[in-house]
Structure 1
Amino acid sequence: MGKSEYQDGCLKIGKWIELSDFFDDLTQVTYEGNYHNGKKINKWNINFRQSLKKPFEQIGGGQYDEQGNENKIGNWIELHDGFDNLTQVTYEGEYNNGKKVNRWNIYYEKNQIGGGSYAQDGNKVGMWNEVSDDFRHSSQIFLNGEYKNGKKIGIWNIYYQDSDANEKQKIGGGQYDEEGNENKIGKWFELSEGFNRYSQIIYNGEYKNNKKVNKWEIQMRDKMNENFEKIGEGSYDEGGTGFKIGEWKEFSDFPWKNKQLISSGLYQNNRKVGIWIETDLKNKEHHRDINYDN
């Protein structure tokens, strides 16, 4: 793929073509540029190919300083952490001495889908439309709200777009404190970890100083055009510890093949106690009992 050299057996020098950390069949990304005394300098290209049968094409890159500090400078196009054949998300904007500054835009398959601005210190400021860290082809999650000194403040909205839909749908969000501590306050609708078109689960309830309090509901739907329906609920203590208390109905801690199991039982100070009953969500059949006192 390219010629590479080391100086004194350990420092990279000259022209290099390197594989990305997550190089595989779906993520064939390489980085091409020059090293001097083990440091990246001058222009570096980011290359990508769809398959073994296709050539690499430049899709990004930019410039490093010539002093060997590896500071990015000028205009750059960078890849989303989850970039692959189906999730071609890129970020385009300006660096100044290694810090992002001014306007940055976000693109998905070369169409702009978001963006916002950085201050000269590299912190996000003002209104942003951005994608979630876990943005994927099957999990297109968008976030909209305001930054102050790199911290989220005020109202933030969460949107979802199915891979074959034309429009986004607001499905969550809430409010952060105005002091810049990124503490969630008041009513929130949050997405489950791993939310995608095949697993659409949300949680809604109240935050107090970034801790869940009082009653929370668990809701689920099968498709984007359906309404969310409650499938579980429970309470957090009012003291701000974030502890689950009392009766809960939630997803089981123990996945079972292709079944979606709902577990019902009692919490004491955030610990499950007594008998918990697991039920298959789809057919409502009893699955098993688990004794947490043994």
Structure 2
Amino acid sequence: MTNLEQIKHLKWEGDYGINNTQTGKWIAFWKGKQLDVGGYYDENGSKIGKWIELFENYWDFSPVTYVGEYQVGNKQGRWDTFYDKQKMQSFTNRLNLEEEVVIRMVIKLVFGLIYTKIIIAHVKLLIQESIRTIIKLVDGIQCFKTKLCIKYHLEIYKIQWNCCQVIYRGEFKNNIMVGRWDTIFLENNTIIGGGNYDINGLKEGLWVDLHDGFNIYYKHIQTGNYQNGIRQGQFIESQLS
């Protein structure tokens, strides 16, 4: 668990069986209050039956959950995604692939403004082409349309439940991130972070990282140095203007 908010406020409770494996019913608490999430493990520690799972970066401003069925630890059939208990989208995991992804644009009215959310079914998606995002008017609604090109590779940022769209832009060599990578905030198409990877795909030198809880309400970045992919010394946290 790397999300600082979750480290502080999220707690799971349940039983352990043989070899210290999770077994039986497990439930979660947020700031001491039980959440409507969880499910059952079998005697081997595999998820079974209906599960309500938390989004990887679940916190107060990203109350996102996934609902679906497991069979011996593998997702089965249809999974639905909920934002603050309101259903947003669903997908069918026919091949039980952890990397299977469905992305859908959702228009939401927040404080009188239209924002676009990207819904993804796993932590991150590596795309072998560049995505150029343009705005198109469809039936009077402001939408985003994607167009493929091949100059860059993009990595869609894992925190997408934030009424804003953030991507990493850079290059791969032998499926390893190398050289300069920029973090781009598509709301105003500006570079807000990034740094350099070495030939082994490890962060090196000065980097500007997004805070784990980065979203439209909490636009915080962390600046500091890496050596061989490991943070060195103190990282300075600041807020984007």
TM-score by length of 2: 0.48
Q: Taking CA–CA contacts closer than 8 Å with sequence separation of 6 or more, which of the two structures ends up with the larger relative contact order?
A: 2
TM-score by length of 1: 0.41
